[in-house]
Amino acid sequence: MTFRFFLVSIILNLPLATPVIFIDLSHTFDPSIPFFPTQVRFNFTQRIVQLMNEKNKFFYATNAFTTSEHMGTHIDAPYHFSPTGWKVDEIPLSHLVFVHARIVDVSKQCSQDRNYLITIDDVKNSNLSVPESDAETGEKFSFVLIFYTGWTKYWPDQTMYAGDKSDLHFPGLSEQLATYLVNTYGDRFVGAGIDTLSTDYGQSKTYVVHQILARHNKYGLENLALTDNLVNSVQTKFFPLDVYPMKIGNGTGAPCRIVARLNNPKRISK
Ligand SMILES: [Zn+2]
């Protein structure tokens, strides 16, 4: 805030702008991060090259890497499980940038059952109330529903986070919940996020939640980095969220930078 704006705010009795802080909900990419066994792992094909050009006196460094579209914190485009669904580069920015997000805390249930299937009642008990339109813009209220399982604390331990490579264990959405969300909230519901490897639980063989979300052109956000602090701070409130996937043409998914904007910094520390 400029001093001039401060003075004008005082004179006109305008509310002073609340400071906004950004919370990074993305994990850092690294060759050691947890992975889904069927996916190509993130790896450098060219390690850090650091060159000092002695003649012209400048520093130069570059890397190259390979990765599945579905490694680390990433988006699942609807096309991942639906031939007619949006590909990554087709998802409208209005579904990605400055969308409303809401967290449903199921960490207690998941701590008692690592194969927990999140239920419709878990959402109902969180007192989710979704307006028809955005109070400020009058536009449709687009929102992402994020499930906090508590699995972020196991990152980057592959076994704790995902189970054995041939016998995966982690919580996910139930089929009934996925159906409930698309039917209840329609166009307002743009995607679901979770702090595990997948919106489907580890034991899934048919990926039915992926199928339902994709069929309705909803995206998934997987491997979100969530903390108790964040969850306690936002509680049951909606907050603005930005999702920035790499714009891969015909992509089924893409690594993402995902950022929450909060205006209550006192209760957040990382
Ligand atoms: Zn994925």
Q: Is residue 53 part of a domain?
A: no
Going from the Cα of 75 to the center of ligand 1, the distance in angstroms, rounded, reads: 6
d(CA 71, CA 116) in angstroms, rounded, equals 22
For residue 140, the 8-state DSSP code is: B
CA nearest 189: which of 100, 260, 117, 253?
A: 100
- At 78 the pLDDT is 98
d(CA 199, CA 203) in angstroms, rounded, equals 12
Q: Is residue 58 part of a domain?
A: no
Q: Is residue 196 part of a domain?
A: yes
Going from the Cα of 77 to the center of ligand 1, the distance in angstroms, rounded, reads: 8
Q: Is residue 99 part of a domain?
A: yes
Cβ–Cβ contacts within 10 Å for residue 207, how many? 16
Number of compact structural domains in the chain: 1
Q: Is residue 100 part of a domain?
A: yes
Q: Is residue 24 part of a domain?
A: yes
Q: Is residue 157 part of a domain?
A: yes
Going from the Cα of 50 to the center of ligand 1, the distance in angstroms, rounded, reads: 33
What sign for the dihedral angle of Cα 100, 124, 26, 226?
positive
**What is the extent of the structural domain holding 222?**
19-41+69-267
Q: What is the CATH classification number for the domain harbouring 177?
A: 3.50.30.50
Which residues are near ligand 1, the ion (C-beta closer than 5 Å)? 70, 76, 253
d(CA 251, CA 241) in angstroms, rounded, equals 22
**pTM of the model as a whole:** 0.90
Going from the Cα of 206 to the center of ligand 1, the distance in angstroms, rounded, reads: 14
- Digitized pLDDT (tens) for each residue of the chain, 270 residues in all: 444 544 444 455 555 567 899 999 999 999 999 999 999 999 999 988 877 777 878 888 899 999 999 999 999 999 999 999 999 999 999 999 999 999 999 999 999 999 999 999 999 999 999 999 999 889 999 999 999 999 999 999 999 999 998 899 999 999 999 999 999 999 999 999 999 999 999 999 999 999 999 999 999 999 999 999 999 999 999 999 999 999 999 999 999 999 999 985 554 444
Q: Is residue 52 part of a domain?
A: no
CA nearest 146: which of 84, 192, 110, 186?
A: 192
- At 266 the pLDDT is 52
Going from the Cα of 39 to the center of ligand 1, the distance in angstroms, rounded, reads: 9
